[in-house]
Structure 1
Amino acid sequence: MAEFGGFFNSVNGDRKYKSEDFANYFKTFIGNGVNPSTDSLRVIKVSNTQIKILPGSACINGYLYLNTAELTKTITSTVAKVNRVILRLDIVNRILSIVIVEGTATAPPTLTRNSSVYELSLAKITIKNNTVTVEDERGQASLCGYMAFLGKDDLQSMWNLFNQQWGAQKDIWQNWFNNMQGQSIRGIYIQKTVPTTHKVGDIWIELS
């Protein structure tokens, strides 16, 4: 289908929508990532065998994830590894959930991102000498990032361009103004000191 418009009330079943229709709508203006509040889906070490994920929310490709209570996960392996706590969208199985994915002794697992599965990394878990350390990865845009309204970068680019062009025009005006000092029939000087080349009838506006 080349065109899509919605959403409309159904009359005798002539307007039916799928979940992906709503997801496609939301992802036009909400980017992937977790809610930007400080503790949203933050991963905390409880012990060397347990972690907990704080309540929070996220959006992946227009699909909502919401966790309303602390979620506890068990670390089953004591072997030296670098794992990740991942928020995974699985389109085929219709699941959006948090899982622990194991890596190797030297590197964390690579995130899966294709048309069926899309993953965000909430944290990296390093197991070494039977000790667990947790590193927050929510703020890293390439791994997770924070959900935000799309189009903000476009507005910033427009603002930067405006400032650049305005700065150039201001320089042109200032250069003209400086060159015109003392060249009119009645000179007008706007400066802190007494003009050295003034003549009778000129105007001096003293800057403080």
Structure 2
Amino acid sequence: MAFSSGFFNSKGLDRTYTAENFCDYLGSIICNGIQDNYGDCFKLAAASSGLKVTVGRGKAWINGHYFINDARYSIDLSSYQDESLPRYVGICIYLDTTEAVRSVTLKLFPGTPAESPQLPSIPQDADHVRLLMYAVRLNPGAESLTERDWYDYREDRNVCGYCRCILGKCKVTDMLAQLAQITAEMQEYNDTVAELTARVAELEAEIEDIGDIIAAGQCGENAYYALYSSGKVLVKGTGAMYDYDLESNRSPFYRNDAVRSVVVSEGITTVGEDAFERCLNLESVSLPTSLTSIGSGAFMPADEYPSAAGKLNSITIPDAVTTIGGGAFWGAALTSLTVPHNVATVGKYACRDCTRLTSVRYEGSVIGGFMFVNCTALTSFTMAHTVTTIGEHCFNYCSTLETITYEGSLADWAAITKQSNWDGKGGMEVGQSGLTRIQCLDGFMEWDAENHEWKVGEE
């Protein structure tokens, strides 16, 4: 039949529809995944003892079919434990549309025991579709499980993901056009907010501390500073700050423990080299939207091999910044960092020894050499597809960073220039580099410890 239509009220059984008709319809407006506003989204928890886990309440959709778990469900994995080798067991929501089954269930898929076990192979075809939620590692001799023993794939849209495509009544093309417009408006809004935030910080510095200046001077051809008794430094003017060094031309703030905050006003384009180096008590920095460069050692709090980290725990790098100098934040107490998309030049050791840094989003085109060396708390690293070069020894001694999330395809990842020992895997003791997975949009790369190389992973 060339044409079909629906749905209509039946008169004398002249209109009939099957469950497949409704599933096809629902599948066209709701993408496969977990519905994130029901229950606790199948959250996995370990029992207090033994190899049991419980799956929380949740609802999911697969090709227009729904699956609901309305109470906590216990799973005993002890029967899958091998006596001598580890293995993975996949926990899936599994659709089977064959005539003999016709259901969606929670199903386990055991992998093959091996010294370096792989994720189990889960069949998919026209009649079978899976949402892989978890892969639980069962080690020989283990008597209990914790969250460290499984991978959570619920956020991974390549194998599971959340429902994101309920479109309503608008055309997809109209929706995309509106989204592009909203994105442009939000960027303009964010730029305005950033500029106003910088101006507010400047005004606060002037109002709070006016009349209590304890030091003042010139810090650029057209840039000037004032240090207030509260510890605030206000830099005003236009253009670049001076570049300083640690020998004959030291910054007026060098080793100044009185400096607690810095406000750089709109119009300043660079923070000079070593400008605020070894200001151990510096806690906060406000930078203007006019800034394009942060000099080497600009906010490095201590000596080259610092015995104590500084107190600078957060910083917003303006979007216009194109250059970050070497050691700019070496040893700072940053906990998170976003590197904006215009950054194209980064010196060595920019964030070395930031031992409190846990999460990074990187949108610049170049990641500097040795940039995150010894960032031992780093667990989350998201890399935009705009990255073209990863510098040498970039992730040395990042012992807790296991996965990089890359917002591009496997082909895009392969095209990135990766300099010598970028991943910290070469010439190091076992365990000092935790990186084992690069998650891309259409698959992942995994570290082959036996052959010491990265290879395309298999689900």
Regarding TM over 0.5, the answer is: yes
Relative to structure 2, which stretch is displaced further, 156-165 or 24-33? 156-165
Contact 2:34 2:61 in 1 (8 A): yes
Shift of 1:155: 5.7
Aligned: 1:70 with 2:89: no
Distance 1:56 1:20 in 2: 23
Tell me which of 88, 104, 110 is aligned to 1:96: 104
Aligned: 1:146 with 2:162: yes
Change (3 A) 1:162 1:77: closer
Shift of 1:103: 0.8
Shift of 1:86: 0.7
Contact 1:87 1:119 in 2 (8 A): yes
Q: Aligned to 2:132, what secondary structure does the other structure show? A: strand
Distance 2:40 2:130 in 1: 19
Q: Aligned to 1:135, what secondary structure does the other structure show? A: strand
Distance 1:109 1:81 in 2: 9
Q: Aligned to 1:28, what secondary structure does the other structure show? A: helix
- In the other structure, the counterpart of 2:135 is 124
Change (3 A) 1:165 1:135: closer
Q: Which runs of 5+ in 1 are unaligned?
A: 167-208
Aligned: 1:158 with 2:174: no
Contact 2:80 2:110 in 1 (8 A): no
Matches within 5 A, 1:193-204: none
Contact 2:92 2:134 in 1 (8 A): yes
Matched to 2:62, the amino acid is I
Matched to 1:58, the amino acid is A
Q: Aligned to 1:57, what secondary structure does the other structure show? A: strand
Change (3 A) 1:111 1:78: closer
With normalisation by structure 1, the TM-score equals 0.71
Change (3 A) 1:139 1:154: farther
With normalisation by structure 2, the TM-score equals 0.34
Shift of 1:144: 0.2
Shift of 1:7: 1.6
Aligned: 1:44 with 2:63: no
Tell me which of 76, 84, 87 is aligned to 1:81: 87
CA offset digits 1:168-206 (Å, max 9, x no partner): xxxxxxxxxxxxxxxxxxxxxxxxxxxxxxxxxxxxxxx
- In the other structure, the counterpart of 1:7 is 7
Q: Aligned to 2:28, what secondary structure does the other structure show? A: coil
Matched to 2:165, the amino acid is F
Distance 1:154 1:128 in 2: 50
Tell me which of 33, 58, 61 is aligned to 1:59: 61
Contact 1:31 1:59 in 2 (8 A): yes
Shift of 1:159: 4.1
Aligned: 1:25 with 2:25: yes
Larger Rg: 1
Matched to 1:71, the amino acid is Y
Instruction: Give the structure with the higher percent helix.
Output: 1
Aligned length: 166
Matched to 1:94, the amino acid is R
